[in-house]
Amino acid sequence: MKGLFITFEGSEGSGKSTQSRMLYQYLKRKKHKVIYLREPGGTAISEKIRQILLDARNDSMSGACEMLLYMAARAQLVREVIRPALAKGAIVICDRFLDSTLAYQGYGLGMDKNFIRRVGRFVTGGLAPKVTIFLDLPVHKGLRHRQNAQDRIEKRPLGYHKRVRSGYLSLARREPARFKVVKVQKDKYVTQSKIRELIEDAVRRH
């Protein structure tokens, strides 16, 4: 792949979407060929799956159904958008990817992480990010930012969200070359400055 694949991860309220969009706008201003995506979503089919996954009324959804729906949305996004963009040499920024499934369904729900990895390799064809930015924020601070949140995942209990954060930190320890842990600061521009420093280094080395 000629392009550079960058993903953003983080638990609820970490500012992940804000920071990933800020990086996208920054790279655009620097005249890079860059596209911005979110998961689940990014294609017509994947966006419809997103609606099902996040609908708070679907509270009877099983963990297996949840995991496989995330994977289905991802399979479509990889085939329809990510691989073609990388083949053309673009920088692809994706708000969440396979690590989210490992953290939220593997560590959070207690599903078999090795099974999730096997399914992940199948739906992505082995595609993995070159750099993953993990925005780390204590769970209680992140959820405070989401007090009025209504989606199905955000409404889960505190213990679940603590397992998700702990899972992300375990993933970061497992792959330190890819995972870059960025502590979330009160000033979003301070956080963004650290992210830009990491990504500019990755772009230079790519």
Quickly list DSSP for 21-55: HHHHHHHHHTT--EEEEESS-SSHHHHHHHHHHH-
Q: What are phi and psi of 80, to 5 degrees?
A: -85, -30
pTM for the model: 0.94
Which pLDDT does position 183 carry in this prediction?
96
pLDDT along the chain (206 residues), means of 10: 95 91 98 98 98 93 97 98 98 98 97 98 98 92 67 86 96 98 96 98 94
pLDDT for 149 equals 60
Per-residue confidence (pLDDT) for residue 11, from 0 to 100: 85
156 Cβ neighbours under 8 A, 6+ residues apart? 108
